[in-house]
Amino acid sequence: MEDHKMDGSVAALLELIGKLRGEGGCPWDMRQTPESMKKYLLEECHELVHAIDSGDVAAVREESGDVLFILVFLIRLFEEQGLFDLQAVCAEAHAKMVRRHPHVFAGVVAGTEEELHQQWQAIKAAEKQAR
């Protein structure tokens, strides 16, 4: 797998959202809450699914950006409340995917696709029980 380096575009997106939500920013963006953003997240996810179904790569890229923007915006709302930030979300997602892929990261022998699915479900159930 290639080592992908960020070119500053993620930092630029974070800065943009900070400006939209900050002093002198956009009144609409400043009023948003996690509750108010749910409908936009669903809309953008539906648009991304439609773009994937259409096979239009440019539309998939555009709609992926819209979904990403909404997600990062939502994370910023939680960050403003002192609950978590983008770094924490990324770290948690990374740790979860490593845990759920022991056949890739922990030397467990991969079985059939059905066995992998069962392994995934067992790990997921153990995570829920641990919470």
Ranges of the chain whose pLDDT falls below 70: 1-6
Domain that holds residue 26: 9-85
* The two structure tokens encoding residue 47: 């648009």
Q: What is the pLDDT of residue 1?
A: 43
Q: At what angle do helices 9-21 and 57-80 cross, to 10 degrees?
A: 50
Question: What is the reported pLDDT for 8?
Answer: 87
Question: In the chain, how many domains are there?
Answer: 1
In the numeric block, the tokens 């400006």 are attached to 19
Inside any domain, residue 128: no
Which CATH number belongs to the domain containing residue 38 in this structure?
Answer: 1.10.287.1080
Quick check: is 107 in a domain? no
In a domain, 49, yes or no: yes
The verdict on residue 1 lying in a domain is: no
